[in-house]
Structure 1
Amino acid sequence: MQIQLGDISHIIQLAIAPVFLLTGVGTNLMVLTNRLARIIDRARVLEDRIHKAGRADPFDSEEINVLYRRGHLINRAITLSTLCALLVCLVIAALFIGDAFDLNLGGFIGSLFVLAMLSLIGSLFFFMREIFIATRTLTLRRVHPPLP
């Protein structure tokens, strides 16, 4: 069986929508990893401050605890976004394989897509929880500013 140029262009047309989704998920991963990097940087600053002082200021200790919680949430969001990207890649590959070899992979492709969407929803849920915690921390710092 030989694949014709017209078949290839049809397969590429089928894969366009998942490729755009993959671009969006990649952008989401970039945002999440940047947030995780900022959380880690802030936690290191606070840990150094506590280590140099020889004791933990209550506000610093509380902030580190919040940063650890935020880091775990972002880590879960990153994991689910990465899973989503992998599933979308499998969708694209299955589209090519199914169309190239005239296989009926509709159910499989649909299942992969639903799993990808559930992973993306989970990722966005954890991201939203992390944002709520970060915003609440800002509010608490405004009401109770750290000691000089």
Structure 2
Amino acid sequence: MPTLPAVTTIAQTIQLSLAPVFMLAAIGQLLNVLAGRLARVIDRARALEMMIHKIDDGPDRLRHKWELRLLDRRMSIINAALFLAVSSAVMACVVIAGLFIANIFKIHIGTWIASAFILAVCLLILCLTAFMVEVRISLRAIHVRKEILNG
């Protein structure tokens, strides 16, 4: 009959899994922020698409087209950031599951678990970098036009 792991061993595994669990909580919040930003960008793009058909050729039409290109780029970057965040969360889950599997079945996969955690952190870094790039791009569209300020 196989022996079951002691409660203390499970408690130690739970303690080891706290860092990836906190990481999952942070990624969840980040996903919420990214999804909100994506929704706002999509709403703005739809509004501009409706407006652009009502404007004749001129500076306003050019500005709307410029902003639509910017919004399209932002959507792509946010989608990439979402993919990276979800991938990071999946790897954090793999780490947590790996810790318990290694403990319960007494297998030595510490190197694999460490590698999975490093990958999760690297994916999170890439996600945050994409988020930072998207925020910087968004700042281009919110400046007040000089012709309005000077007029």
TM-score by length of 2: 0.88
Report the equivalent of 1:89: 93
Q: CA deviation at 1:137?
A: 1.9
Q: CA deviation at 1:100?
A: 1.3
Report the equivalent of 1:77: 81
The answer to whether residue 76 in structure 2 is matched with residue 68 in structure 1 is no
The answer to whether residue 96 in structure 2 is matched with residue 126 in structure 1 is no
Report the equivalent of 2:103: 99
Aligned length, in residue pairs = 143
1:113 corresponds to which of 86, 102, 117: 117
Give, in whole Å, the separation in 2 of the partners of 1:77 and 1:17. Answer: 22
Secondary structure, counterpart of 1:2 in structure 2: coil
Give, in whole Å, the separation in 2 of the partners of 1:124 and 1:137. Answer: 21
Give, in whole Å, the separation in 2 of the partners of 1:94 and 1:144. Answer: 59
The answer to whether residue 9 in structure 2 is matched with residue 7 in structure 1 is yes
Supply the AA of the counterpart residue of 2:27: V
Supply the AA of the counterpart residue of 1:103: I
TM-score by length of 1: 0.90
Q: CA deviation at 1:9?
A: 1.4
**Given the superposition, is the C-alpha separation of residues 116 and 144 from structure 1 closer, same or farther in structure 2, using an over 3 Å criterion?**
farther
**Given the superposition, is the C-alpha separation of residues 144 and 40 from structure 1 closer, same or farther in structure 2, using an over 3 Å criterion?**
farther
**Given the superposition, is the C-alpha separation of residues 144 and 104 from structure 1 closer, same or farther in structure 2, using an over 3 Å criterion?**
farther
Report the equivalent of 1:41: 43
The answer to whether residue 149 in structure 2 is matched with residue 143 in structure 1 is no
Deviation per residue, 1:96-136 (Å, 9 max, x gap)? 10111111111101110111111011111111111111112
Give, in whole Å, the separation in 1 of the partners of 2:140 and 2:49. Answer: 21
Unaligned runs of 5+ in 2: none
**Given the superposition, is the C-alpha separation of residues 21 and 124 from structure 1 closer, same or farther in structure 2, using an over 3 Å criterion?**
same
Unaligned runs of 5+ in 1: none
The structure with the largest alpha-carbon Rg is 2
